[in-house]
Chain A
Amino acid sequence: MLDETPHYTISVEVNGITYTEKVPAQMTLLQFLRQKLYLTGAKEGCGVGECGACTVLLDGRAVDACLVLAVEADEASVRTVEGEGRDGELTLLQRAFIEHGAVQCGFCTSGILLSAQGLLESNPHPDREEIIEAISGNLCRCTGYVQILEAIEAVARNGEELG
């Protein structure tokens, strides 16, 4: 056993703001976001990369923040649901989720928004199969997924103006 917990200084950009913080080696990116930055949109569901409630974009790619160490995010750029809408304006995806009733309890919602956002930014007009594949790492126990698929499909039809 180590006598002391090793700490490391990381510099990470989160939602456009650069933070320099000292973190213990074993802290996950999810713990860093929630406990250091108080960004609680990403949730811990399973903690082992199954449920996707902790999904964030790491350098533009959807990842489970529970399976990334905070130290691994040094020099990286992270996006969480808190940074998606700006100045009181919701994103197209967020508006579509509301219009299609794609949110019930909300626990999975922030993760699914980021998975869908990651998909639409690399593939603005995905078909239904591609959408299903992109959110296959996000579990939702309320909606049955149909409304979520419809919301993402609605945005995919107008992919250019993704905001």
Chain B
Amino acid sequence: MKPFQYRKPLSLAEALEALEEENTRILAGGSDLLVEMREGKSHPERIVDVKAIPELACFSIGEDGIIIGGRVTLRQIAESALLQKRCPLLVDAARTVATPQVRNRATLVGNLCTASPAADMAPPLFVLGGVVVVASKEGEQNIPIQSFFTGPKKNCLQPGQLVLRLEIPLLSPGRGVFLKKARVRGHDLATINLAGWVNPRDGAMRVCIGACGPTPVLLAGGDELFRGASGREKLIDGLATLAQAQIAPIDDLRASAAYRRGLVAVFLRRMTRVLFPEEGGWPSA
């Protein structure tokens, strides 16, 4: 690693001041940034450690939604009994990320900021309608998670901006499922990952597929398909058609594009069977 200046601001104002400087990177858990630096892919001249900023420590799971601050680690999420009860989808995803050692440091917000197309925390937050709350000297800004991801390992943050927290608005009663395929558990990024969420009462269905495009793909048309579906097999077929038209997987070291397309079909079937354990009760049956 090349030398750099290290700062650990104790207040948000001080941090935002420090982030105005050129060639500055934000350090939270360090499990992505330090690897990048050690591999020579990034050479920041200044590092701002955000772990002492009080505003980033919030972690609340209430009636009106879920708030996860920028300092909250994946271990905190994986071990939250309340979150397990209110939003098991997030807990399931957090438990699959990397290793216990990494989860003890890595943060959910950091996972999003790295913006890997394979980020495991992204599909659940896409289907749950997560909002990224960003601070800068100009004030706060709410960014829907879909707009936050702009390309492979690219997010929409501008220099001088810092993510304060992730918010998930009031959860209507629904159920979700997270699925992930990795070559070696804990030691590789996802070959693909997928989150599905359904609220039968409102006729809402959302599916997000990761590692099958430059950013996670939130399937368009899920609600209409669900409302019109007359049975589980019909829904699986319809979702497969939607997905294959919207994903754009590539060949890389983890899998070929064709293998990913095959996996997506398998995962959609598996997801649908978990979300709808019974055959009956279809909106238009």
Contact = CB atoms under 8 A, between A and B. Distances in A.
Interface of A: 1-2, 4-6, 8, 24-26, 28, 47-50, 52, 55, 58, 61-64, 66-69, 71-72, 115, 133-134, 136-137, 139
Interface of B: 1-6, 8, 27, 30-31, 34-35, 37-39, 45, 47, 49, 51, 75, 98-102, 104-105, 185-187
A67 B3 contact: no
Given A2-B45, A47-B38, A115 B101 contact: yes
A151 B8 CA distance: 41
A48 B101 contact: no
29 contacts: A1-B45, A2-B4, A4-B3, A5-B3, A6-B4, A25-B5, A25-B6, A26-B1, A26-B37, A28-B34, A49-B98, A50-B99, A50-B187, A52-B99, A52-B101, A62-B104, A63-B101, A63-B105, A64-B102, A64-B105, A67-B31, A67-B35, A67-B105, A68-B34, A115-B100, A134-B100, A137-B100, A137-B102, A137-B186
B30 A69 contact: yes
Contact of A25 (B4, B51, B102, B186): B4
Contacts of A137: 98-102, 186
A47 B75 CA distance: 22
A61 B34 CA distance: 19
A4 B104 CA distance: 33
Given A24-B3, A25-B4, A49-B31, A72 B49 contact: yes
A22 B4 CA distance: 15
